[in-house]
Structure 1
């Protein structure tokens, strides 16, 4: 009888780790192969550049020759993708081994280089899966962060060139919570929304921003003999501060802002250590009036953020309209 029963989980862990490394190695080799194929196609096209239709002819010819032997990975569509892969990332040494081919397929569809660099940095820093990267692209994470901060700060934080100096550089507004799986009903109780968030906590922490960890829900605090309950308490390692979240399933009111400000003040005076930064409060609301938020809080406010949530992803047209509206409001506020 073996005395040390830990040998079984140890060996299983070794097997799983080795399998993951093997899968990653195969995918990296496949990515390199597709890049080399794209490079070779592009070079051949350049030689036949005097013919305007040579590129289309070449791709069609290659597909007819390769697909019968090597399968659908060498169809016309796939070969065009390999060519675009090389044209988007022309330097082989710049390819990141942390990214899979599936992620690169998503990235080459992004025309704007700064936007693409942002998603590359965020994918690597947060160890995103392909599905997570796709979701963040589809929910316009880059544009949502630009609404509340300048482009240089957003990119610098993403690339780890600077730590966020303002919570708005990492906290999104609006937030998309379609992963909660709630139906499009007229209203939800706040406890229902809170429970759904707890059930999908990993996805929620990813959506809210970088560097968040969960501490407590319905945290009881005592003030002058009265009891109050903070919906959620998080901690952010980048901002080095507590983050309090209050969930409101109605349109935000100035009373809601005052309530959260009281909780923030309590944490700053009672819970916060001297080496930690001031507490941040997030009001996660179904709807808000930015003017009410603006005039309820001090002009130099950095402690309270009102972020509207949506229970399903919008269409591309709705996203573009939302971004245009918010940028117009931002420009108006600067005047």
Structure 2
């Protein structure tokens, strides 16, 4: 370690490092003049180039990683009013370059269905752009996120996502939904990538394309209602009540486009009153969405009842400008084969997903559980009575 430090110290004062430092300072000044390093696009593209410079220098020389400490010190000294030159951030730029360089060359942000028709094709220059300084091509995806994704979001992806397909998914979702940094981190933690579009549904048989594809991507499995804290025994009405009470978090979990219409929404069919658990309208799908909650395992009869509700909404609420009403049945558990069979001959579009929530211990049970001190005391007593040859 001491040899590396001495080596770095000597190199920091030597001609090669000094020349490289001068080049970096010139590049930074150029970027300052062009955009004051304030425009997000310029900032991201600069971090890409800086990360590439650092990565290549470390690969081509024997300076060692400690030279980044020296570089951070020199750049902050030269540009005291600029942020982003901490040792930690320089490592992020290096990782940014190395991770996104490993993406396939054709990796890019893909507009969601409907938006694709609005976007004109990119020119060849836009798809194969060359950085201002020279021969290292900047991937299409880096150019795309440069104008749309803040650096703070990119750092979260670098920290928490390793697969490029998953990264592209979260990039697309963040741009489309306008997620903040905290919301992006929450969605990654809840494994939205694995949950999105994975519900069992009959959309392909009951909806035309591309609406069937968009509807499939709209629903998840499972839905995670970890913002609810429930104590058994509870029923569907208890869950409905808390979901409406936490409607902002509920809408976030449902995804962009859902507008809340009502809970226990009243419909009169013939001379009989019916009440829908939760009724929404989806802005993009342009249709009503009926959500039925079942605090039990899925059974086939649930699909038949939801099919009836969808027919009622189509007859009583839907207008000529609305698309067919969609149903989402949320249950605590389901059997895949049984669920697919139940939806096979249903003529209304619906999907079946599980949901999870946080359950807290009831007070009477809490009092019967041993405390940490009692567990430790029992363990110590066990150790004292055990013979030297006993395994505890």
The alignment status of 1:82 with 2:132, answered yes or no, reads: no
Give the C-alpha shift of residue 47 in structure 1.
Answer: 4.0
Q: What is the deviation of 1:259?
A: 1.9
Distance 2:146 2:339 in 1: 42
Counterpart of 1:85 in 2: which secondary structure? helix
1:61 aligns with 2:109: no
Provide closer, same or farther for how the CA distance between residues 171 and 55 of structure 1 changes in structure 2, counting only shifts above 3 A: farther
Aligned partners of 1:63 and 1:79 also within 8 Å: yes
> Using the alignment, how far apart are the partners of 2:348 and 2:272 within structure 1?
27
Corresponding residue of 1:127: 178
Aligned to 1:22: none
Over aligned residues, Cα RMSD in angstroms?
3.4
User: Distance in 1 between the 2:154 and 2:258 partners?
Assistant: 26
Distance 1:26 1:254 in 2: 62
* Corresponding position of 1:320: none
Q: Can you list the C-alpha shifts for 1:183-236, whole angstroms capped at 9, x where unaligned?
A: 4x4442222211211122122222123321111111111223221110111111
Tell me which structure has the larger Cα radius of gyration.
Answer: 2
Equivalence for 2:15 = none
Which residue of 2 is the match for residue 177 of structure 1? 225
Structure (1/2) with the larger helix percentage? 1
Q: CA deviation at 1:106?
A: 1.5
> How much has 1:30 moved relative to structure 2?
7.2
Gaps of 5+ in 2: 1-34, 102-137, 201-209, 360-392
> Which 10-residue stretch deviates more, 70-79 or 108-117?
70-79
The CA deviation at 1:115 is 2.4
The aligned residue for residue 167 of structure 1 is 215
Question: 1:81: how far off?
Answer: 0.9
* SS of corresponding position for 2:227: helix
Question: Residue 83 and residue 308 in structure 1: after superposition, are their counterparts in 2 closer, same or farther (change >3 A)?
Answer: same
1:253 Cα deviation from its structure 2 partner: 2.3
Q: Aligned in 2, Cα 1:50/1:200: closer, same or farther, shift over 3 Å?
A: same
Kept in 1, the 8 Å contact 2:310–2:348? The answer is no
Provide closer, same or farther for how the CA distance between residues 216 and 163 of structure 1 changes in structure 2, counting only shifts above 3 A: same
Task: Specify whether residues 70 and 264 from structure 1 end up closer, same or farther in structure 2 by C-alpha distance, changes over 3 A only.
Answer: same
Q: CA deviation at 1:301?
A: 5.7
Aligned length: 275
Q: Compared with structure 1, are the counterparts of its residues 275 and 31 closer, same or farther at alpha carbon in structure 2 (3 Å cutoff)?
A: closer
Q: Moved runs in structure 1, 4+ residues, more than 4 A? A: 25-35, 63-75, 89-92, 299-302
| CA deviation vs aligned residue, 1:69-91 (integer Å, no higher than 9, x gap) | 78996554332112222442745
CA deviations 1:59-108 (Å, max 9, x no partner) are 23334556797899655433211222244274564334443322121123
Q: 1:209 aligns with which of 244, 248, 255?
A: 255
Q: Summarize the alignment of residues 18-97 of structure 1 with structure 2, pairs less than 5 Å apart.
A: 29=39, 32-33=42-43, 36-37=46-47, 39-47=49-57, 49-51=59-61, 54=63, 56-63=65-72, 65=74, 74-87=85-98, 88=100, 90=138, 93-97=143-147
